[in-house]
Amino acid sequence: RFTGVLRVNGGVWHTGPGSIPGKVRGCRFDSGRRQLSIFEKENWMDKKTIVFDFDGVIHSYTSGWQGISVIPDPVVPEIQAAINYLRMEGYEVIVVSTRCARPEGMGAVRRYLRDNHIVVDDVVAHKPPAICYIDDRAICFDGNALGLIGKIRAFKPWYQN
């Protein structure tokens, strides 16, 4: 737990008198947990972080939006096994959901994960730095900017196909 004074000056952070400065790559403040995480330039990508969206990737979301704390649908088949395997391989798995912007949504997501025996490293409201993002509403950018237009017009999440 961070208890010192954080001063960021030119990308260098200090936690108090006599501390060794570290290089700052970025930071994330989780308001629900009132926690500040600092990513150092030397090692933040070494964590092998993967971010999973909650609705449509873990929660099957077949009923659509029912409310911030209403999560009625079953788990996506085999997602628990995939997450367990990735964690055993050394990946840090973080779940992100806009539900988590409010305490009741954060609680509902955490309960759903617990009740379905899905173990992750963190649950957050905003996308942290990661090596990749798993999202049911994403279009993978292939470098063809004009090709996005057709992909966007034809887009449907997997559960609507």
Q: pLDDT, tens digit, for every residue of 72-117?
A: 999 999 999 999 999 999 999 999 999 999 999 999 999 999 999 9
pLDDT along the chain (161 residues), means of 10: 46 46 52 56 67 97 96 97 96 97 97 98 96 95 95 93 82
DSSP the chain: ---S--EEETTEEE-STTPPPEEEEEEEEETTTTEEEEEETTTTGGG-EEEEESBTTTB--TT----TT---SPBPTTHHHHHHHHHHTT-EEEEE-GGGGSHHHHHHHHHHHHHTT---SEEESSPPP-SEEE-TT-----S-TTHHHHHHHH---GGG-
